[in-house]
Amino acid sequence: MYRKTVLQLKGLLENKKISSVELMKAYLQRIKQVDEQIQAYITLQEEEILLQSAQEADQRRSQGKAGILEGIPMAVSDNICTQGMKTTGASFMLNSFVPPYQATVVEKYLEEGAILVGKLDMDEFGIHSPYSIAKVRNPWNLQMTLGSSGGGSSAAVAAEEIPFALGVDGGGDLRQPAHFCGCFALKPTYGRVSRYGLISVAPSFEQIGSVTKTVEDMDLLMGLLTGKDSKDPTTHSQPWVPLEKDLAISEMKIALPHFSDLFPCRPSIQKHIHKVASQLETLGARVEEVELPMLSYVPSMYQILTSAEASSNLARIDGIRYGHRAERYDDLSDLYQKTRQEGFGLGVKEKILFGTYVLSASHYETYYQKALKLRTLLYQETNQIFQSYHMILTPVIPFPVWNREEKKSVQDYYWKDMYTAIANLTGFPALSIPTRDRIEGVPIGFQLIGQAGKEHQLLQVAYTYEQQEGISKRKEKSW
Q: What is the pLDDT of residues 374-392, one digit of tens each?
A: 999 999 999 999 999 999 9
DSSP notation for 322-344: SS---S--SSHHHHHHHHHHHHS
CA separation for the pair 277, 435 (Å, rounded): 12
Q: Which of 44, 111, 125, 132 is closest to 80 using CA atoms?
A: 125
Query: Residue 398: pLDDT above 50?
Result: yes
Q: Stretch 144-150: mean pLDDT, rounded?
A: 86
**91-108: burial string, b at 16+ Cβ within 10 Å, e else:** bbbbeebebeebbbbbbb
Contact between 432 and 417 under an 8 Å Cβ cutoff? The reply is no
* Model pLDDT for residues 194-208, shown as the tens digit of each residue: 999 999 999 999 999
* Amino acid at residue number 396: V
- pLDDT at residue 248 is higher than 80: yes
Averaged pLDDT of the chain: 94
Which of 23, 43, 200 has its CA nearest to residue 125? 200
pLDDT at 257 over 60: yes
What is the pLDDT at residue 147? 86
6-241: CATH topology is Amidase signature (AS) enzymes (3.90.1300)
Distance between CA atoms of 183 and 443, rounded to whole angstroms? 9
In terms of residues, how long is the chain? 479
* Percentage helix, strand, coil for the chain under 3-state DSSP, each rounded to 5: 40, 15, 40
pLDDT surpassing 70 at residue 221: yes
Q: Give the relative orientation of helices 47-62 and 20-38 as an angle to the nearest 10 degrees.
A: 150
Angle, helices 298-313/346-359, rounded to nearest 10 degrees: 100
**Beta strand pairing status for 286-290 and 253-257?**
parallel
Q: For residue 66, what pLDDT is reported?
A: 97
pLDDT value for 104: 98
Residue 75, strand partner residues:
118, 165
3-state SS class at 47? helix
Helix (H) or strand (E) holding 267, with range, is helix 267-282
Rounded to the nearest angstrom, the gap between the alpha carbon of residue 466 and the centroid of all alpha carbons in its chain is 20
Number of neighbouring beta carbons within 10 Å of residue 84: 12
What is the SS3 assignment for 186? strand
Report the distance separating Cα 327 and Cα 60, nearest Å: 49
Percent residues over pLDDT 90 in the chain: 86
Give the whole-angstrom CA distance, residue 449 versus residue 393: 7
Whether residue 209 is predicted with pLDDT greater than 80 in this model: the reply is yes
Confidence at residue 261, expressed as pLDDT on a 0 to 100 scale: 76
Task: Tell me the C-alpha to C-alpha distance, in Å, between residue 317 and each of 36, 43, 200, 232, 324.
Answer: 31, 21, 11, 20, 9
What is the phi/psi pair of residue 351, to 5°?
-65, -45
Question: Is pLDDT of 14 > 90?
Answer: yes
Q: Which residues, in sequence order, are CB contacts of 260 under 8 Å at separation 6+?
A: 295, 296
Domain regions of the chain by residue span? 6-241
CA distance 39 to 47: 18
Q: Which range among 130-134, 170-174, 180-184, 208-212 shows the weakest confidence by mean pLDDT?
A: 130-134
Phi first, then psi, for residue 417 (nearest 5°) are -95, 15
Longest CA pairwise span in the chain (Å): 70
pLDDT in tens, 16-58: 999 999 999 999 999 999 999 999 999 999 999 999 999 999 9
Asked if the model's pLDDT at residue 441 lies above 60, the reply is yes
**Which pLDDT score, from 0 to 100, does residue 479 have?**
52
- 114 contacts 84 by C-beta, under 8 angstroms: no
Confidence of residue 478 (pLDDT cuts 50, 70, 90): very low
What DSSP state is assigned to residue 189? Answer: P
Strands in 253-257's sheet, in edge-to-edge order, are 41-44, 115-120, 73-77, 165-169, 207-212, 184-187, 430-439, 442-450, 391-394, 253-257, 286-290
- Provide the pairing of β-strand 207-212 with 165-169: antiparallel
Rg from Cα positions in the chain = 22
Residue 221, C-beta contacts closer than 8 angstroms, at least 6 positions apart = 6, 164, 210, 212
Tell me the CB-side half-sphere exposure of residue 213, using CA atoms within 13 A. 22
Q: Would you state the pLDDT for residue 263?
A: 75
Please choose, from the candidates 167, 181, 14, 130, the residue with its C-alpha nearest in 3D space to the C-alpha of residue 409. Answer: 130
Beta-strand runs (E) in 272-409? 286-290, 391-394
Section 161-168 average pLDDT: 98
Is-contact 94 324, C-beta < 8 A?
yes
Q: Where are the alpha helices (H) located in 39-70, listed in sequence order?
A: 47-62
Contacts of 417 (CB under 8 A, 6+ apart): 148, 171, 172, 176, 298, 299, 302
Are 123 and 132 a contacting pair, CB within 8 Å? Answer: yes
pLDDT at site 472: 60
DSSP tag of 367: I
